[in-house]
Amino acid sequence: SQNIYILGIESSCDDTAASIIYNGRILSNVIASQKIHEEYGGVVPELASRAHQQNIVPVVHQALEKASITKDELHAIAFTKGPGLMGSLLVGTSFAKSLAYGLNIPLIDVNHMQGHILAHYIDEDGYKKPPFPFLAMTISGGHTQIVKVDHYFDMTVIGETIDDAVGEAFDKSGKILGLGYPAGPEIDKRAALGNPKAFKFTKPKVDGLNFSFSGFKTAVLYFIQREVKANPNFIEENLNDICASIQYTIIGILMDKLKLATKQTGINHIAIGGGVSANSGIRKALKDGEQKFGWTTYIPKFEFTTDNAAMIAIVGYLKFLDGDFAEQNVVASARLKI
């Protein structure tokens, strides 16, 4: 049984995605990102589920086509069960269930957060997979976690945000500065041109390995309001420096917690995932940690860090090998835990 084709489907937030994986290697990784949310400055759940309904059939068709297989060659269908927006999850879940039923093949439910972490086990030439145990830091617009990973399905969350996700800290700061949504990529670009020590923002005090970003966003808001009162052109005149200082503070918060996590666990292998791991400052800080703290870091290809279906398909493949299947009556779960 060594020629296994798995279809992975992801629809937890605002990306409709499908991927075909063959024995751990990606044959296709198709994603339809929903532009509609940009004009609202954030994801609108009702619009997201409607767009998923429009996108899901063409996206799955494209994934099969790009992989040069037909649906009759599939061995199983993996889908995101949660966590995520309920209306969005329902679209992927019901689609996966009916397709698996129609093809009479197994259905595999996948935890989105495990997907971000196990994306590191996609077979890719030249990519070194993290050895167990390792620490995974999952940072995106919806999540911020540090997870101790002892084996594929033996994971423990050892730290997480108590309010906003780190991606929200980027996006909400960007909104205050008048940048488009999502603002993370533009802050990243501008930060490279600015002075990270131009302005100082205090880091939140949160015990242990947990994070908090809502106070940071408020600090940025008050700082900008104060400065703009004194000088209406403050933002335009200092945009790169403001972006650099915001990013510098966020990186400091993340690195402090990672340092504490490696100290507490004695684990020095660090893997990252989630859209925010695209940030060039974070990538550099992690690489610098290899020299400074003796870390070994694992940074996947960009297309596997943001929400995608290849990460769902690889979890599906690993569960398929374990014979770990879902029942036909499985339901989506918005607050699913690792």
Residue 15 sits at φ, ψ, to 5 deg, of -120, 130
Q: What is the DSSP letter of 316?
A: H
Long-range pairs for 285-292: beta carbons < 8 A, 24 or more residues apart? 285/251, 285/254, 285/255, 289/255, 289/258
Cβ closer to Zn ion: 14 or 307? 307
DSSP character string of 229-247:
HH-TTHHHHHHHHHHHHHH
Picked from ligand KG4, Zn ion, none, the partner binding residue 194 (CB below 5 to 8 A depending on kind) is: none
- Asked if 60 contacts 7 with a C-beta cutoff of 8 angstroms, the reply is yes
Q: Using CB under 6 A, pick the residue from 196, 307, 311, 316 that binds ligand KG4.
A: 307
Quick check: 278 binds ligand KG4 (CB under 6 A)? Answer: yes
Whichever of 100 and 122 has its CB closer to Zn ion, that residue is 122
| Residue 7, Cβ density class (10 Å: 0-12 exposed, 13-18 middle, ≥19 buried) | buried
Residue closer to Zn ion by CB (options 13, 209) is 13
- For the bound state, the minimum distance from the C-beta of residue 180 to ligand KG4, rounded and expressed in Å, comes to 10
Query: Is residue 182 close enough to count as binding ligand KG4 by CB under 6 A?
Result: yes
* 164 lies in the binding site for Zn ion (CB under 5 A): no
Number of residues that bind ligand KG4 (CB under 6 A): 19
248 makes contact with ligand KG4 (CB under 6 A): no
Q: What does the alpha-carbon distance between residue 43 and residue 307 come to, in Å, rounded to a whole number?
A: 14
d(CA 33, CA 80): 16
CB atoms within 10 A of CB 180: 13
Q: Which stretch binds ligand KG4 (CB under 6 A): 71-79, 97-105, 123-131, 180-188?
A: 180-188
User: Are the C-beta atoms of 12 and 112 separated by less than 8 Å?
Assistant: yes
Here the tokens at position 290 are: 């290899």
Q: Does 140 bind Zn ion (CB under 5 A)?
A: yes
Q: Quickly count helices (H) and strands (E) in the chain.
A: 10, 10
Contacts with ligand KG4, 4-43, as mask; x by CB under 6 A: ---------x------------------------------
Binding flag, residue 11, Zn ion (CB under 5 A) = no
Tell me whether residue 5 or residue 16 sits nearer to ligand KG4 (CB atom).
Answer: 16
Tokens for 11? 């629809």
Instruction: Pick the closer one to ligand KG4 by CB: 51 or 99.
Output: 51
For 28, the enclosing helix (H) or strand (E) is: strand 25-33
Is residue 92 close enough to count as binding ligand KG4 by CB under 6 A?
A: no
82: contact with ligand KG4 by CB under 6 A: no
Of residues 289 through 308, those in contact with Zn ion by CB under 5 A are 307
116 annotated ligand binder: yes
> Given the rule CB under 5 A, which residues bind Zn ion?
140, 307
> Given the rule CB under 6 A, which residues bind ligand KG4?
13, 140-142, 167, 170-171, 182-185, 188, 274-276, 278-279, 306-307
